[in-house]
Amino acid sequence: MRDFDRRAFLALAGMSALGASALLSGCGGGSGSGIALRYAWWGNTVRQQNYERALQQFQEANPGITVDPEFAEYTAFQERMTTQMAARNVADIFWIASPQVMTYQAAGLYRPLSDIPTLDLSDYSEADIAAFSLNGELLTMPHGVFVPVVRYNETFLEEDGAELPGEDWNWDQLSEFLIDYAANAPEGRTGASYTPDQDMAFEAWLRQRGQDLWTAEGTVGFDAEALGDWFEWWRVLLDRGAVLSLGEQEGMQPDFADIGERVLVNFGSSNHIIDEAAMFPDWRYRLRSVPVAPDAADGHRFTYYPRLAVYQGIDDEKLEAAGRLIDYNVNNADFLRTVGLTMGAPPNPRLLQEAYDFASEDETEMLAVVEADRAEEQRPRYEAPPGTGTWREALSRASETIALGDSSVSAVAESLIAEIQAGIDQAA
Amino acid sequence: MATAVKSRRSGPDAPERGRPARPVSPERRQGRAAYVFLTPWLLGLCLVTAVPLGASLYLAFTDYNILSTPNFTGLDNFERMLGDERFWAACAVTARYVFVSVPLQLVFALLLAVALDRGLRGLAFYRGGFYLPSLLGSSVAIAILWRELFGHDGLVNDALAFVGIEGQSWLQNPSTALSTLIVLNVWTFGSPMVIFLAGLRQIPEQYYEAARVDGASRLRQFWHITVPILTPIIFFNLILQTIGAFQTFTQAHVISGGTGGPVDSTLFYTLYVYQQGFRDFDMGYASALAWVLLLVIGAVTAVHFVLSKYWVFYGDD
Amino acid sequence: MIDAAPLADAGARRRRRRRPPTALLKHGALLLFLSLMVYPLVWMVVSAFKPAHLILTDPGLIPAEVTFENFQEGWYALNRPFSLFFVNSLVVTVGSILGNLFSCSLAAYALARLEFRTRRLFFAITLVSVMLPMHVLIIPQYIFFSQLGWVDTYLPLLIPKLLATDAFFVFLMVQFIRGIPRDLDRAAAIDGAGPFRIFWYVVFPLMRPALVTTTIFTFIWTWNDFFTPLIYLTSTDMYTVPVALSSMVSAESQQGIGMLFAMSLLSLLPVILFFVFAQRYLIRGMVTSGLK
């Protein structure tokens, strides 16, 4: 290695330096004076545009603070975030993908929020704050609220002369209705898509039985019987042709754009109506709470919060600015107006009321369902523990196995629970 | 380790051996020059390649969840593989894919390269056309395209319906899903084709002229001129396409949405590595998986190199 | 056609059969095959001009309605003209090509032609470095570049190319150089040329097909590369085309298909043009490079 030719080496170094300076000059990191915050979020191009505009508004309202937006599509966002976490080079404020909420918590990546003076929490009740907290500490701030819903195409319902069971429906009634609807529906239409892996609907099913997805201790909160019954509920629909087959819907998690004209109802999260109803502007979509089992456990209703957080390693002098930005994000009506309601109803009760003023028909539908569910008493809900990053994929795979009909429902349920538990043990 | 230079079958040093030694032997001079030529490569090796390579090797023996510091756990990760059903599923999928798609793709690429080599008008047009699919092979749009072809309402089923056969979703049937990915790989045969084309350009036209004078048929010319001279390039394509096939990721990721479904029937090995590392945050296990793959690819490549002595002919021999 | 040829003059018939009909047959077969191969692409092109909501519901090749709205929408989908991403991609791509041509050819020449002790070891290392899946390398690499403060610059994308880390091309060039007869080097050596002059005046010009191939592939792979730019480039203004494209389809909703197709199409254009242009140089190759 002593034989490096000096000239060649110098030439190379020179070239590199030249290239480096040319490239670096192109991109200054933030502003010269004042405070620069990095804000990372995910979504599609519409959301990208809306949030960039909202962040611009924030900068205009807060001279001295600049925001460097870091945007990516959901999967890409997680890949980039994971890498940044490993290198401890993370955006100051970031959205948290739901499977990672507790994983980040366990790794101590959140800066607690309760002592940031610029974040105003006065709009929230104590119960709200408790529900937002993880292990009793306010580490993240929800910037949306989802509840599980059944969405149905009212236009289809009218066209086909069918009538949903009453508002106090249960799972059996829905099942019978779907089978009946599919049998009489016009060619090319059926009851629903095959989505036993819709996690919010599944969680509702569990909580009505007094079980949970996850326990406070970070273990699996449901048993093979509850899971097996869930699969069985879907298998009956599949056998009776009341839902699309795996082939017809091209796999699990079908695109609504693709199946929207073939199904009457859809399980999902309350916020999906905003993007998905827009795909078929000619039809009217309505929301309903999911069916409730006749002997449902108390407090089974629940709300899911998409969350954002401040990175633990943030510079102290940036903290106040970060608080200001989060405050603007979750408490400001102008911000909400700009970004719209794609992340669900606002968690801030005051904003929820204000949102009705500018909400579209679909959005109003969503706000009403969320408001109704939030008014009910809810027993606590726990986030997914570390090691469960792929539990939804595993649930999808199990659902595929059920649809293929090669294995018994109970065997699939048991092996799925074992797989999820193994992941948790591995991470512990 | 690698002092075996002299044992190579031939080399320029062979005829020089008898000459009297000069003050600076050409070999030393060459050695010195070699390091100059290799300066960028050595820098890249030390700075960009070696450290991550070493890091991943170390991580293979640890429990590392990306967010906290790695814990040394010895051979735990490797033991875990033995009982990991999805690991074995991934191995089976990948092996089937490598053994079917690589030969198919290479034969395809070679035949088309020969057809598009010379003696026809509009070669640029054809080459461009046949290369087009490769440009798109890893794009996000391919998932939608493939569904349009092999989906439930896809073109293949339309064609089958025409002859009275009822189709299915080829992508959602676990026993056919992998085949659609093999088709995708063969469809994107452009890269090896271009390399073959480049290799064909290295064959002097005179060889063919001489053969034609001798009255050799096109087939004979192909077997006795084209193929032998092209063997280093065939070998290159074989090695690299094999390695590439073992590492197939993007296409599987795009088409199954990252799941490897239906029911793990397209769970390629690197897709599983990715799931473990980036989804389950189990980078220790992912690194162990990666190194096992490296060993397997290394072994297969070594076999290729040993066998190459019997069928690859170099101009410098 | 062939049957209609006059039987009288066997020589003339042979000549005729040799020229046009075989060529015609060849063209026919190639065209048929080609149309099969590019059908999906044609579908994509057509779809790009359809209204977005009709792409999946009306998948025929003849659009009921032609529109440019996918292009208009897609061009400004990320709040800035798409041309910005083209320029970014171009900077990265051209830089990568220069880097690869420079560094890989040097390394390949040394590995293929020069005799030194660690040669086989180095060659093995080159191969091994393409065998490990990138997903376990990307985090250590990122940590390294992040500590240099190079995140959100193009340096992590370009510097590795300048340092011959694309082992694929090193190996490719080694194989090509080994296909060049050694007599040429020896003749030059007898004339007193050292390794540098042999490389520059003898081997480098003869490597032309390999260099063109490297250029083509580097262009295409870099232009299409998604993961590396995604990880390293965080601000939207720095995005390359594939990262920008990926933002158009979100995992949560498939709304952007129209835009995605339209912009994918536009992003393919430079690559296609480049390919058609570059492959001409493949055609020349050896014939004009001085070897008789």
Q: What is the DSSP string of A164-213?
A: PPPTT--HHHHHHHHHHHHHHS-TT-EEE---TT-HHHHHHHHHHTT--S
Please indicate whether, in this complex, the C-beta atoms of A426 and B282 are within 8 angstroms of each other: yes
Based on the fold, state whether residues C44 and C189 are members of the same structural domain: no
Q: Which two tokens stand for residue C96?
A: 């990568």
For residues A324 and A62, is the Cβ–Cβ distance under 8 A?
yes
- In chain B, how many domains are there? 2
Nearest to C115 by CA among B35, A57, A48: B35
* Residue C1 resides in a domain: no
Q: Which long-range contacts (CB under 8 A, 24 or more apart) does B265-268 make?
A: B265/B93, B265/B174, B265/B175, B265/B177, B265/B178, B266/B93, B266/B177, B266/B178, B266/B181, B267/B86, B267/B89, B267/B90, B267/B93, B268/B90, B268/B93, B268/B94, B268/B97
For A44, the enclosing helix (H) or strand (E) is none
Say if C2 falls within a structural domain. no
Give the start-end residues of each E strand in A193-270: 263-269
| The domain boundary residue, chosen from C75, C92, C112 | C75
Is C40 within 8 Å of B135 when comparing Cβ atoms? no
C54: nearest Cα among C44, C41, C63, C42: C63
Residues C106 and C235 in one domain: yes
Those of residues 144-163 in C touching chain B at CB distance below 8 A are 144, 159-160, 162-163
B176 in the same domain as B260: yes
- Domains in chain A, start-ordered, CATH in brackets? 35-146+304-371 (3.40.190.10), 148-300+387-427 (3.40.190.10)
Which residue in chain B is spatially nearest to C273 when comparing CA positions? B128
C235 at the A interface (CB within 8 A)?
yes
Contact C92, C157 (CB under 8 A): yes
In a domain, C3, yes or no: no
Q: Are residues C94 and C228 in the same domain?
A: yes
| Residues of A within an 8 Å Cβ radius of B | 1, 3-5, 8-9, 12, 75, 78-79, 82, 85-86, 99, 103-104, 106-107, 109, 246-248, 250-253, 386-387, 389-390, 393, 396-397, 400-401, 404, 423, 426-427
Asked if residue C116 has pLDDT above 80, the reply is yes
Shared-domain flag, residues B55 and B88: no
What is the number of residues in chain C?
Answer: 292
pLDDT at B24: 61
A424 contacts A219 by C-beta, under 8 angstroms? yes
Which pair of tokens denotes residue C250?
Answer: 């979100």
Q: Which of B56, B201, B314 to mutate to test the interface with C (most CBs of C within 10 A)?
A: B201
Using the Cβ of C119 and the Cβ atoms of chain B, whether some distance falls under 8 Å is answered with yes
Contact B129 C170 (CB under 8 A): no
Residues A252, B261: C-beta atoms closer than 8 Å: yes
- pLDDT bin (cut points 50, 70, 90) of residue C98 is very high
Instruction: Tell whether B39 is within 8 A of chain C (Cβ).
Output: yes
pLDDT value of position B100: 96
- Shortest distance between the Cα of C217 and any Cα of chain B, in A, equals 8
Confirm if A204 and A197 have CB atoms less than 8 A apart.
no
C-contacting residues in B 66-85 (Cβ below 8 Å)? 66
Q: Taking 80 as the threshold, does the pLDDT of residue C224 lie above it?
A: yes
Q: Is C244 on the interface with A (CB under 8 A)?
A: no
Inside any domain, residue B10: no
Closest Cβ opposite residue A86 in set C56, C143, C227:
C143
Task: Please indicate, yes or no, whether residues B287 and B251 belong to a single structural domain of this protein.
Answer: yes
Is residue A380 reached through a cis peptide bond, with omega within 30 degrees of 0 on the bond before it? no
Each residue of B123-163: pLDDT tens digit? 888 888 888 888 876 677 788 888 888 888 888 888 888 88
Q: Which residues of C touch A24 (CB under 8 A)?
A: 153, 155
Contact (CB<8Å) C155/A23 = yes
Going by their DSSP bridges, the two strands A93-96 and A35-42 should be labelled as: parallel
Q: Give the H or E element holding residue A286.
A: strand A285-289
Kindly indicate the confidence band of residue A27, based on its pLDDT and cuts at 50, 70 and 90: very low
pLDDT score for C19? 53
Is residue B11 included in any domain, yes or no?
Answer: no
Name the average pLDDT for chain C.
82
Q: B221 with B305, same domain?
A: yes
Specify which residues A149 forms β-bridges with.
Answer: A268, A289
Which positions 182-241 of B are in contact with A (Cβ < 8 Å)? none
DSSP conformation letters of C51-89: -TTHHHH---SS-SS---HHHHHHHTTTSS-THHHHHHH
Neighbours of chain A (3+ CB pairs under 8 A): B, C
Place C280 in a pLDDT band, splitting at 50, 70 and 90: confident
Quick check: is C5 in a domain?
no
- Say if the Cβ atoms of A246 and B171 lie within 8 Å: no
Q: CB of C181 within 8 A of CB of B316?
A: yes
Cβ(C101)–Cβ(C214) under 8 Å? yes
Q: What is the DSSP letter of B140?
A: T
Domain assignment present for residue B176? The answer is yes
pLDDT band of C10, cuts 50, 70, 90:
very low
Domain that holds residue C276: 83-288
Under DSSP, is residue A282 helix (H, G, I), strand (E, B) or coil? Answer: coil
Q: Domain check: are C94 and C189 in the same one?
A: yes
Pairwise CA distance, residues A195 & A192, whole Å? 8
Q: What integer pLDDT is reported at residue A123 of this predicted model?
A: 94
Q: How far is A139 from chain B (nearest CA, A)?
A: 17
B224 and B102 housed in the same domain: yes
Does any domain span residue B126? yes
Per-residue pLDDT, averaged over B180-197, amounts to 90
Domain identity same for B92 and B50: no
Q: Which of C71, B90, C79, C270 is nearest to A71 (CA)?
A: C79
Query: Which chain B residues contact residue C198 at CB under 8 A?
Result: none
- Chain A residues closer than 8 Å to C78 by CB: 45, 48-49
Is residue B50 located within the same domain as residue B163? no
Clarify whether residues B51 and B156 are in a common domain: no
Query: Can you tell me the distance from the alpha carbon of B171 to that of B79, in angstroms, rounded to the nearest whole number?
Result: 33
Q: Cα separation of A61 and A63, whole Å? A: 6
C153 closest CB neighbour out of A15, A23, A46:
A23
CB contact under 8 A, C119 and B5: yes
The verdict on B184 and B268 lying in the same domain is yes
pLDDT of residue C283: 57
Residue listed under structure tokens 């399980």: A267
Q: CB-based contact (8 Å) between C162 and chain A?
A: yes
Minimal-distance CA residue of chain C relative to A19: C155
Beta carbons of C208 and C176 less than 8 angstroms apart: no
First to last CA, chain C: 40
- Would residue B15 count as lying in a domain? no
Pair B108, B39 in one domain = no
What pLDDT is attached to residue C22?
A: 77
Minimal Cα–Cα distance from A108 to chain C, Å?
Answer: 19
Q: Are B267 and B260 in contact (CB under 8 A)?
A: yes
CA nearest A266: which of B143, C253, B257, B144?
Answer: C253
Evaluate whether residue C87 is within a structural domain.
yes
Q: Report the residue of chain B nearest A412, measured CA to CA.
A: B263
C95 and C145, same domain (yes or no) = yes
What distance in Å separates the CA atoms of residue B104 and residue B134, rounded to the nearest whole number?
A: 15
Predicted confidence (pLDDT) at residue C128 exceeds the cutoff of 90: no
Residues C102 and C203 grouped into a single domain: yes
Residues A289, A150 contacting (CB under 8 angstroms):
yes
Kindly determine whether residue A43 and residue C248, on different chains, have CB atoms separated by under 8 Å: no
Across B160-184, average pLDDT = 89
Whether residues A70 and C235 touch (CB distance < 8 A) is answered with yes
Q: In whole angstroms, give the CA distance from residue A230 to residue B89.
A: 27
Judged on CB neighbours under 10 Å (0-12, 13-18, 19+), A270 is buried
Q: Within this chain, do residues C138 and C242 fall inside the same structural domain, yes or no?
A: yes
- Does C59 map to a domain? yes
A4 to chain B: which residues are within 8 Å by CB? Answer: 35-36, 39
Residue C14's pLDDT is what?
47
Smallest CA–CA distance from B65 into chain A, residue: A427
Cα atoms found within 13 Å of the Cα of residue B163, Cβ hemisphere only: 6
Distance from CA of B317 to the nearest CA of C (A): 8
Using CB atoms, which residue from B53, B131, B247 is nearest to C275? Answer: B131
Name residue, tokens 């408001």: A371
Based on the domain organization, do C200 and C88 belong to the same domain? yes
Q: Which two tokens stand for residue B233?
A: 């390039």
Range of the domain at B35: 23-59
Q: Cβ–Cβ of C116/B35 closer than 8 Å?
A: yes
Chosen domain end from B59, B85, B103: B59
What pLDDT digit, counting tens, does each position of A340-381 carry?
998 899 999 999 999 999 999 999 999 999 999 999 999 999
Residues 254-283 of B with CB under 8 A from A: 256-259, 261-264, 275, 278-283
Question: Which among B34, B39, B198 has CB closest to C114?
Answer: B34
Burial letters for A335-365: b for 16+ Cβ neighbours within 10 Å, e otherwise? bbbbbbbbbbbbbbeebbeebeeebeebbeb
Does residue B69 lie in a domain region?
A: no
- Strand stretches in A301-382, DSSP E: 307-310
Are C16 and C153 within one domain? no
> Which candidate in A400, A404, A416, A419 is best for mutational testing of the B interface (most B CBs within 10 A)?
A400
What's the CATH code of the domain at B176?
Answer: 1.10.3720.10
In a domain? residue C183: yes
For residues C36-60, give the mean pLDDT: 81
Average pLDDT in chain B: 85
The number of domains in chain C is 2
Q: Would you call B169 and A104 a contact, using CB atoms and an 8 Å cutoff? A: no
Mean pLDDT of C249-271: 76
Clarify whether residues C65 and C199 are in a common domain.
no
Q: Quick one: what percent of chain C has pLDDT higher than 90?
A: 28
The answer to whether residue C95 neighbours chain A at the CB level (below 8 Å) is: yes
Pick from A79, A107, A252: CB nearest B67: A107
In this prediction, residue A44 has a pLDDT band, given cuts at 50, 70 and 90, of confident
Q: Which segment of A169-173, C14-18, C36-40 scores lowest on mean pLDDT?
A: C14-18
CB contact under 8 A, C162 and A275: no
Residue C4 lies in a domain: no
Say yes or no: B85 and B177 in one domain: yes
Same domain? For C160 and C27 the reply is no
Identify the pLDDT of residue A401.
94
C-alpha angle A292/A297/A300, rounded to 5°? 65
Asked which of A300-309, B55-64, C61-70, C253-262 is least confident by mean pLDDT, the reply is: C253-262
Place of tokens 């990760």: B77
Tens digits of residue pLDDT in A265-309: 999 999 999 888 888 889 999 999 999 999 999 999 999 999 999
Measured CA to CA, the distance from residue C193 to residue C206 in angstroms comes to: 17
Nearest-CA distance from B304 to chain A in Å? 31
How many helices and strands (H and E) does chain A possess? 17, 9
B41 part of contact set with chain A, CB < 8 Å: no
| B91-123 pLDDT tens trace | 999 999 999 999 999 999 999 998 888 777 788
Assess whether B42 and B151 both reside in one domain.
no
How many Å apart are CA A251 and CA C140, to the nearest integer? 35
Residues C199 and C131 in one domain: yes
